[in-house]
Structure 1
Amino acid sequence: MPQFTVYNTRTGEIRCTGTQATVEWCHAQAGPGESVYLGPAEPGSYIRDGAPAPLPQRPSEHHVFDWSLHAWRDPRTPDDRRAQLKSDLAEQRWKAETGGLTLPDGLRVRTGREDRAAFAQMLADMEAGALDSIDFKAAEGFVTLTREEARAISIAIADHVRACFSAERAAHVFIDGLDASDIPASCNLADFMGEQPADNLSLA
């Protein structure tokens, strides 16, 4: 049986596809303002110059297709788009902030908020007890840290967290300074943290 695709004659938007017993019955499926292409059309396509053509790539999940222009359009206001970018950045900052830190010697420490609180308490106990060393469970197993090493790690963690928030703030300033036509579909926090990704900072 012949396959058919019913589409809007003006925009090319596909209305339905299917099969019928005869070509005549295929053409009979078109309503006012519609035409029939004899053949199948893949999802994500439209009819252009009498044949199926793929839709342009969708820039983001927020875009809708404007059939009159045959182009994707973001229906959100500039303030909506800025707010969404900032929300995305907050999620990126959280992942970077709590995703761990790699030290120059390869030791990787956890930087979740509970992990940081526990490490701070451990360091305070070392200082209060005048302990020269203590066993510490890093991301990949136990190590023994001297008081000086524990202090260095505490400083590194604080610098890491501060860098994450500073990058998020810098990104906010950047977004707020953009003209409406220049607001991007996405924003990467790592672009505001220098050359190293936020979740892989090392001590200098």
Structure 2
Amino acid sequence: MFTRAASFSWTMLFFPANRPGTGRNFVYRVLSFIAKPENTGYGCVVPDAHGAESHLPTVSLSVKIGELVEEYVEAMEKVKLKQGLKTAMQISMEGNGYLQGNRFWRLYKEDRPCCDIVIRTAAGLVHLVAQLLEPFMPSFSREVFRQLNLAPLFSLSEVSQARRPWEILPPGHMIGTLQPLFKELVYYIALAL
């Protein structure tokens, strides 16, 4: 019999997914910026991230993400699925905060090497989020991997890279064709699900 920690409801997903400032668009924001043509984006190519290990906001993020991944693994091993889902969503929100805090759109124009670090790190987090959300939303994860132009990978042994997210995707990797992953959930539709 399932416990409360193992139960899932669409309304549980509705509130964090539709709150302003959450990571609900994190994946699409990162991939669409990479997909923009050169001189406005990266022409579908994941940039290199020279100096990421000394970029303070990136190092700070990687410590936080490493801790969250440890929490996720612990929750999933104890079959605390609700906590696992919350933690995976928190990683997406941390990624979104990292993008906002670094003002990547400005960095692209003013400090391209720094923007490269931010975008490659964020792209690694996209990969990580797709892995972590697979038990809850397998079709979402498969679609993210398709858009990343990678074979689906759902091994928790790979999450050890979480402490160095800028190394998850190789520089020069070409992403695939993009499309929005979610339509905004309307509360009454979430209730009906």
TM-score range, shorter chain: under 0.3
Greater strand content: 1
TM-score by length of 2: 0.25
Give the greater-gyration-radius structure (CA): 1
Q: Which of structures 1 and 2 has the larger relative contact order (alpha carbons within 8 angstroms, sep 6+)?
A: 2
TM-score by length of 1: 0.24
